[in-house]
Amino acid sequence: MSEEELIEVVITVPFPEELVDGLRKISSRLNIIAKKTEDISADVWKRTQVLYAARQLPDADMVPDLQWFQSHFVGIESVWGAGIFEKPRLLITTMSGAAAPQVAEYAVAMLLAMGHRLPDLMANQREGGWPDRRWDRFEPQELRGSTVGILGYGSIGREIARLLQPFDVTILAAKRNVMRPEDSGFRLEGIGDPDGRYFTRLYPIAARRSMLKECDFVISTLPGTPETLGLIGEQELAAMKPTALLVDVGRGCVIEADALYAALEKKTLAGAVLDVFAEEPLPPDSPFWSLSNAIITPHIAWTSPHYRQRAAKLFAENLRRYLAGEPLYNQYDPQKGY
């Protein structure tokens, strides 16, 4: 890439104009076009070198000069079959890190909600009564002083660990590469655990059962990959305390659905909060809807009124790196699946 070359950048996600203007100020070499996919002309597609998009992608032959695709989302599994990904040497980057604050807040909120018996309290509200022995029935499982296990210690897991510090919890974490406890990925200022200081013990994923049996609360932030498919199954759930509570904000395919339902239905696991499922939307006839010890949410933990601003900040940093010929943040590795 020569220093004089004009770089055509197409953004098909509806960004506010002030965010687009901020991206244009990065360099005069960037010709940024922000329009709906259907409003991009064939001539512009032919010149496009950088594409920022969500789920609507052009055909490969429409973008012969495409060098880099930046996804608007953390995961790209929903668009992975698109033809542009067959282009040789195409750089692919994700939004890992941009959703960390809101997903971490959701996870901590759900730990407190389940620990303080929110499903039972809401059921009691619908009954409209002031029950006998309410102190026993609604006695909480306090987060303070408990042991919390975090499966997946990326940007979300690290921010969860940071938010949990005032609760004086013991944090156990499991990640793919325990030899690198530090965070080398994109991180919003002031959040996360860049140096790997907030956990008490770090486990390899292969030792997950040893970690799970120690935990009062477990949070899965694991991505959906061939390696993580069904990683939490009957044996892992059986290793957990019957009083343990589980929160899944990663990918639904990580936890075996039948084994999880059985554990919740039989109360061998105290409760769960599930924002993700292997099949989405979760079918109306799914038995998970009727569980009294589960909170089901429709894959909304990542949403935030600030998401586009955070995404634009990550994209801006990657644009600067692209111009400088430096490695981009969050490069997708098909072998790892993220």
Split at pLDDT 50, 70, 90, the class of 81 is confident
The stretch 96-113 carries a mean pLDDT of: 98
Split at pLDDT 50, 70, 90, the class of 47 is very high
Give the pLDDT of residue 3.
63
In the predicted structure, residue 67 carries a pLDDT above the cut 90: yes
Right CATH number for 100-296 from 3.40.50.880, 3.90.420.10, 3.40.50.720, 3.40.50.1820? 3.40.50.720
Q: Report d(CA 98, CA 104) in Å as an integer.
A: 11
Q: Do domains 7-98+305-324 and 100-296 have the same CATH topology?
A: yes
Q: Report d(CA 98, CA 120) in Å as an integer.
A: 34
Name the strands in the sheet holding 48-53, side by side, starting at the edge strand that comes first in the sequence: 30-34, 7-11, 48-53, 68-71, 91-93
CB atoms closer than 10 angstroms to residue 330: 20
Higher pLDDT pick, 211 / 76: 211
Q: At what angle do helices 155-163 and 100-115 cross, to 10 degrees?
A: 50
Give the CATH class of 7-98+305-324. alpha beta
Split at pLDDT 50, 70, 90, the class of 80 is confident
Identify whether the C-beta of residue 175 lies closer than 8 Å to the C-beta of residue 165.
no
Closest CA to 150 of 141, 142, 139, 159: 159
- Per-residue tokens: 282: 């979760």
In the predicted structure, residue 208 carries a pLDDT above the cut 70: yes
Render 146-214 in DSSP notation, one character per residue: -EEEEE--SHHHHHHHHHTGGGT-EEEEEES-TT--S--S---TT-S-TTS-S-SEEEEGGGHHHHHTT
Q: Exposed, middle or buried, 26 (CB in 10 Å: 0-12/13-18/19+)? A: middle
In the predicted structure, residue 187 carries a pLDDT above the cut 60: yes
Q: Exposed, middle or buried, 156 (CB in 10 Å: 0-12/13-18/19+)? A: buried
In the predicted structure, residue 4 carries a pLDDT above the cut 80: no
The predicted-structure confidence for 212-261, as pLDDT tens digits, reads as follows 999 999 999 999 999 999 999 999 999 999 999 999 999 999 999 999 99
Longest distance between any two alpha carbons in the chain, whole Å:
77
In the chain, pLDDT over 90 holds for what percent of residues?
93
- Per-residue tokens: 304: 């935030």
The predicted-structure confidence for 118-161, as pLDDT tens digits, reads as follows 999 999 999 999 999 999 999 999 999 999 999 999 999 999 99
For 12-53, the three-class secondary structure string (H helix, E strand, C coil) is CCCCCHHHHHHHHCCCCCEEEEECCHHHCCHHHHHHEEEEEE
Cα dihedral 305, 307, 313, 316, rounded to 10, equals: -120
The predicted-structure confidence for 278-329, as pLDDT tens digits, reads as follows 999 999 999 999 999 999 999 999 999 999 999 999 999 999 999 999 999 9
The stretch 65-71 carries a mean pLDDT of: 98
Give the pLDDT of residue 78.
81
Give the pLDDT of residue 1.
55
Q: Provide the residue ranges of all domains of the chain, joining segments of one domain with +.
A: 7-98+305-324, 100-296
